[in-house]
Amino acid sequence: MKVPMTVDEYIEEQPEEVQVLLRKIRETIRGVAPDATEKMAWRMPSYWQREYLIHFAAFKKHIGIFPGVLENLPFKERLTGYNTTKGTIHFPYDKPIDYELIADITKWRVSRVE
């Protein structure tokens, strides 16, 4: 399997129904972090602004959002109902994606690097 070199390539390699979700996540992140540089890192779409702000990736049953350590997140209560790890939030395909939460997390990450 070819390693995607761009975010467009990454999205295009995913199943069609997942591509729609990934494009909306990308649009959400770019909308609230317009100064961030979009690139591929760790084989994931990633956004850099003085440091990595956020990454996302498609998996078999969910989309993972990687904003870094979640313990300092000011609105952790909004993560209730999602599987999380130390630095990842899983958005399952069988539930609507909370794009507003993704936007708020990204805004918070931008505020942390400003």
Q: Which is higher by pLDDT, 86 or 46? A: 46
Strand order in the sheet with 52-58: 37-41, 44-48, 52-58, 62-66, 89-92
- Per cent of the chain over pLDDT 90 is 81
Start-end of H helices in the chain? 7-12, 16-32, 99-113
Q: Determine the pLDDT at residue 26.
A: 98
Domain boundaries, the chain: 7-113
| Tokens 């070819």, residue located | 2
Alpha-carbon distances, residue 6 vs 11, 13, 80, 81, 103 (angstroms): 9, 11, 32, 32, 22
pLDDT in tens, 14-41: 999 999 999 999 999 999 999 999 999 9
CB burial readout 32-71, b (16+ within 10 A) else e: bbeebeeebeeebbbbbbeebbbbbbbeeebbbbbbbebe
Q: In this model, does residue 98 exceed pLDDT 90?
A: yes
Instruction: Report the SS3 class of residue 36.
Output: coil
> Taking the model in full, what pTM does it have?
0.94
pLDDT in tens, 75-93: 888 998 999 988 899 999 9
Q: Determine the pLDDT at residue 94.
A: 95
Q: Determine the pLDDT at residue 1.
A: 60
Instruction: Report the SS3 class of residue 95.
Output: coil
CATH number of 7-113: 3.90.1150.200
Give the confidence band of 100 by pLDDT, cuts at 50, 70, 90: very high
